[in-house]
Amino acid sequence: MTSVNTTNAVESLPQSIDAATLKTWEDNHDDLMVIDVRSGAEFESMHIKGSYHVPLPMLSEHTEEFAAKMGTRVVLVCQSGNRAEQARKHLDAVGLGSASVLTGGVPAYAAAGGNIVRSSGPWALERQVRMAAGSLVLAGVLGSKFVSPKLGLLAGGIGAGLTFSAATDSCAMGQMLSKMPWNRSANEPTAHQALQNLDARA
């Protein structure tokens, strides 16, 4: 696997930063690049002004290509920080060590008074996961009581899945939900378009 040359980095950057630090960097660093790895619908609903949209599945599939377009001060953002951390690990694996994760994600930045672009849209993906998991567990418990005891296995399966998700810092349910029509956007970029957007910044 080809490594990205990061010898031009002027300083060692932290793996995570808070919203206040990001706001300071925006005011003092022209080389800052904010990459939003959420779904298209989430990005359209609310995003940091000036950020670039590179959905996590796209970045995961084309990590080296995107890493080659990124500079020496990259901040990865999502809804909470989990998907951004996954993106950071992908980039770090190909040699881009200059990426930091925004702790608390876009909501934390908005709460800190950051410059946000808003529009109507679906729930954030993490909230959808909580609703789906909670609904399935409730359905399993009620079904086991009123329909068939075997339906209790549904609740157990969801619990096991959530435990595995926490242990591996992954979320299969979130990945499935991200592919649902309501989480897709007509304006979501292709990999080629996203790479061109980063080229324009450079």
- The domain locations on the chain are 16-123+186-201, 125-178
**DSSP three-state, residue 93:** helix
For residues 120 and 41, give the distance between their C-alpha atoms in angstroms, rounded to a whole number: 9
DSSP H or E segment with residue 118: strand 116-118
| Full-model pTM | 0.69
Burial class (CB in 10 A: 0-12, 13-18, 19+), 79: buried
DSSP H or E segment with residue 35: strand 32-36
Q: What's the CATH fold of domain 16-123+186-201?
A: Oxidized Rhodanese; domain 1 (3.40.250)
Phi, psi of 93, rounded to the nearest 5 degrees: -65, -25
Cβ contact 4:98 at 8 Å = no
- Going residue by residue through the chain, which has 202 residues, state the pLDDT in tens, using 9 for 90 and above: 444 444 444 467 899 999 999 999 999 999 999 999 998 888 988 999 999 999 999 999 999 999 999 988 999 999 899 999 999 999 999 999 889 999 999 999 999 999 999 876 666 666 777 787 788 888 888 888 888 888 778 878 887 877 866 666 566 776 677 677 766 655 678 999 999 988 876 5
